[in-house]
Amino acid sequence: MQQLADHPITKRWPASNPSILQLYSLTTPNGVKISIALEEMGMEYEPHLVDFGKNDQMTPEFLALNPNNKIPAIIDPNGPGGKPLALFESGAILIYLAEKSGRFLPDAQRYQVLQWLMFQMGGLGPMFGQLGYFHHFAGKEIEDPRPKERFRAEAERLLNVLEGALQGKDWIAGPYSIADIAIGPWLNSLKNYYQAADIAGWGKLKNTPAYLDRFLARPAVQRGLKIPSRD
């Protein structure tokens, strides 16, 4: 890919401003990680809605960017060496944006930030998502209680891990970081979208609800949660 226009995705989602970063996403917990990060970092970008209701993620154009048919994904026309960079997986994108902007991945706490980022990617996201499926979506029709209880118990365990780690801290790894940008949307989804926080012991927690409140109070978070717009 010599320039943005060479990528197949631009046939379905043409860029209004091909000189800035292009975001292909949806307002899911993983999707808003990147819009929030970009808003926090003050980077110029152009968002494109990948509508799952229309199976946009299964089109040849999108699969040319992410063969795993998941959002978010980006193309940065000004990637390393001045060449376009196509990238998928929200964790990888967060690290790339943090390194490019020089923000939210401080050298002194680099590995602490990365460990909590991986905690979200390997734990909170998958377990909360499964609990949401069995509690709020089609999985609630399954009569066998064991699958839901498995994910409920693991979600509660993970919340307790987070609760302990947040003791005496505003943010998970010291200063506000990409780890918080990754964790916050999943806590918000568990509580306000899946409506499963109460069954996972949310009412027994003190540090974690306050942490989510701090996260949601940030203006960049409030903007990023609505991007890309469906309008």
Tell me which DSSP letter residue 54 carries. G
Q: Is 179 exposed, middle or buried (0-12, 13-18, 19+ CB in 10 A)?
A: buried
Share of the chain above pLDDT 70, in %: 100
The confidence score (pLDDT) of residue 226 equals: 98
Domains of the chain, start order? 4-103 (3.40.30.10), 107-220 (1.20.1050.10)
For residue 230, the model assigns a pLDDT of: 85
Give the chain's mean pLDDT: 97
CB atoms within 10 A of CB 15: 18
pLDDT, position 162:
98
What pTM value is reported for the model? 0.97
- Quick one: pLDDT at residue 13? 97
59-115: pLDDT as tens digits: 999 999 999 999 999 999 999 999 999 999 999 999 999 999 999 999 999 999 999
Which structure tokens are listed for 209? 């609800």
In this structure, which amino acid lies at residue 13? Answer: W
Cβ atoms of residues 154 and 2 within 8 Å: no
3-state SS, residue 230: coil
**Confidence band, pLDDT 50/70/90 cuts, at residue 210:** very high
